[in-house]
Amino acid sequence: MAIVHSVTQYLLFIVIVTILVKPLGGYLERVFTGKRTALDRFLCPLEKFLYRMTRVDATAEMTFGQYAGCFIVFGLFGTILLYTILRAQRFLPWFFPAYLITPLTPDLALNTAISFSTTTTWQAYAGENTMSYFSQMAGLCAQNFLAGAAGLAVGIAFIRGLSRQLSDTLGNFWVDLLRATLWVLLPASLIGALVLVGQGVPMNFHPYAVLSTLEGSKQVIPQGPVAALEIIKNLGTNGGGFFNANGAHPYENPTPLSNFFEMLAIVLLPAALTNTFGRMVGQPRQGWMFYYVMVFLFGCGLLSVHRFEQRASPQIRNVDFRSSRLQPGGNMEGKEVRFGITGSTLTAVVTSNTATGSYNSMHDSFSSLGGMALLVNMLLGELVFGGLGSGLYSMVMAAAIAVFLGGLMVGRTPEYLGKKIGPPENKMITLYALAAPVLVLPLTAIAVSTHAGLSGLTTNSGPHGLTEILFAYTSCFANNGQTFASLNANTPFYNLTTAFAMMVGRFGLAIPALALAAMFGRQRNTPVTSGTLPTHSLVFALLLTACLIVMVAVSYLPSLALGPILERLQFGA
């Protein structure tokens, strides 16, 4: 019965996402192409007012350099503003010095500011012991909106560039940013927050409650505006949590239904962008091909993690792995009983495939192969749904590599969407593909070979310690934010190196993607011939999937062999 329940939940999740992809994709296409929507009568006057206040010319288009420059400046401004709020929070409202005992050192504040302004939301601190209500709302929650909207704007500009001919512009960053905030994230967050409040998620500004337990000791019950932060961290594919326990805390995620709803909130918009892509480039089948590849890889992740956690590790010899109506069986260490293997697996696979590291179980307690599956999800390049905007252009960049290889096979100049992929385009694609291994692997090597890096391994060493460090840098580069928690990352070494990884993962990938879109936009579409490689067929989907697997294996197999694979082999069967 347990396996039936698990499969039913996984299938229900995929079915709901599939049903909503087309209507949500159509809505996004209407929002960013200026077509009428149901919210126009309420939001258009506000939009025009904001343009007048900020003196933004909504009709002016931007070149690649201008668009990328605005994106970078906006991210840096958000980082500086958030850093200032964090450093001054003790002088701002709703600061409780008796309970907020973790000092926000300059390096921790900088790491946190970069983390939230890049949608990574890597947390080297405990939220309820560190952040005031003002910092949570005016700082972290605001950046969840703005950074998520900026990522969506870049994704739309990327699609817009691919869809144009003989054009040197990608749209207007400020217009895309405002529409992403007002038409997409804000209304969805208001509805989602009400749903979460109905499930029991707090939304207040009350002081922390101090209660006496039955044993006579004192217990502090943190409260606060949890629902507001919880919904946007998922919708904006940000991650992070109001509390240290994140999605495992009963205030953030009180019921199995709230867990299922929050996972839908993470996936729906990135999945819908595949349909938006197909509509805007005038080839809907291209978008569906991407979506089906995403679902296939997502399903593989679900089956792998569920199997590894249900069977657990061979060294746990006295555990009954059999599931029944009375027990879930398998590896329940680090997992919430109210979610079990199924709810924990769904959340782990969703969050590791997207840029939302809001887990509801401790991934450090997963089996070695279960943890490796989550690591591989991030190493794929944040393209199985992925981040808001970044997931779509990551998939297109991977498709461009597959097109190049396919072109070599048929002896023709590679073409994608009627545009030729020549040397300039290949340089941007190569830069994008090499960014992750060139950054993640050297940072991991430095950490495992220096005292500053090894000092963060407070509990584990050996293969598991290597996995913890590799997981940390991979998560930061992927702007994901989840971690193997036994790595102490609140040190100057990790605060600075992970912040560097976040910046490169945010801007070092978005800029080559925008540059490629601009190059495509300047070209004229070439007619389809019998020698053109169809990029919406099953054959191309298989080629794309194979390319993704081979690229991960070539880049990271030695690291995986020394980490989770060696850990698994050490214990044997």
| CA distances for 261 relative to 27, 157, 345, angstroms | 20, 29, 15
- Buried b / exposed e across 409-444, counting CB within 10 Å, b at 16+? eeeeebbbbbbbbeeebeebbebbbebbbebbbebb
61-70, 215-224, 247-256, 372-381 — which is least confidently predicted?
A: 215-224
Per the structure block, which two tokens stand in for 239? 């991650």
At residue 53, the 3 state secondary structure works out as helix
Question: Nearest 5°: CA angle at 160, between 157 and 163?
Answer: 155
pLDDT at 288 over 90: yes
Provide the pLDDT confidence category of residue 337 given band limits of 50, 70 and 90.
confident
Residue matched to tokens 């039955």: 214
Please classify residue 508 by burial: count the beta carbons closer than 10 Å to its beta carbon, then call 0-12 exposed, 13-18 middle and 19+ buried. Answer: middle
pLDDT of 404 = 86
Side-chain-facing half-sphere of 519: CA atoms under 13 Å: 19
pLDDT of 266 = 93
Mean pLDDT value of segment 258-281: 94
Per the structure block, which two tokens stand in for 555? 């880049």
279 touches 390 (CB < 8 A): no
- Give 174-223 as a DSSP string: HHHHHHIIIIIIHHHHHHHHHHHHHHT-----PPPEEEE-TTS-EEEE--
pLDDT of 133 = 87
pLDDT of 312 = 65
Average pLDDT in the chain: 89
DSSP state of 389: T
pLDDT at 371 over 60: yes
Residue type, 109: A
- Buried b / exposed e across 107-130, counting CB within 10 Å, b at 16+? bbbbbbbbbbbbbbbbbbbbbbeb
CA 113 to chain centre: 17
Residue matched to tokens 């060696």: 566
CA distance 543 to 554: 16
pLDDT at 482 over 90: no
CA distance 192 to 178: 20
Please classify residue 8 by burial: count the beta carbons closer than 10 Å to its beta carbon, then call 0-12 exposed, 13-18 middle and 19+ buried. Answer: exposed
The residue that leads in pLDDT, 529 or 521, is 521
CA distance 569 to 562: 10
CA distance 23 to 13: 17
pLDDT tens for residues 393-437? 999 999 999 998 887 776 677 888 888 888 899 999 999 999 999
94-108, 191-205, 424-438 — which is least confidently predicted?
A: 94-108
Provide the pLDDT confidence category of residue 325 given band limits of 50, 70 and 90.
low
pLDDT tens for residues 298-317? 999 999 999 888 876 666 65
118 touches 148 (CB < 8 A): no
Provide the pLDDT confidence category of residue 53 given band limits of 50, 70 and 90.
very high
355 touches 387 (CB < 8 A): yes
pLDDT of 545 = 93
- Buried b / exposed e across 310-331, counting CB within 10 Å, b at 16+? bbbbeeeeeeeeebeeeebbbb
CA-wise closest residue to 403 among 534, 287, 276: 534
Which sequence spans correspond to the domains of the chain?
390-571
CA distance 365 to 384: 24
Provide the pLDDT confidence category of residue 573 given band limits of 50, 70 and 90.
very low
The share of the chain scoring above pLDDT 70, in percent, equals 95
The share of the chain scoring above pLDDT 90, in percent, equals 57
448 touches 539 (CB < 8 A): no
482 touches 247 (CB < 8 A): no
CA distance 502 to 256: 31
Of 23-37, 119-133, 485-499, give the range with the top mean pLDDT.
23-37
Residue type, 89: Q
135-139, 290-294, 333-337, 549-553 — which is least confidently predicted?
A: 333-337
156 touches 392 (CB < 8 A): no
Please classify residue 257 by burial: count the beta carbons closer than 10 Å to its beta carbon, then call 0-12 exposed, 13-18 middle and 19+ buried. Answer: exposed
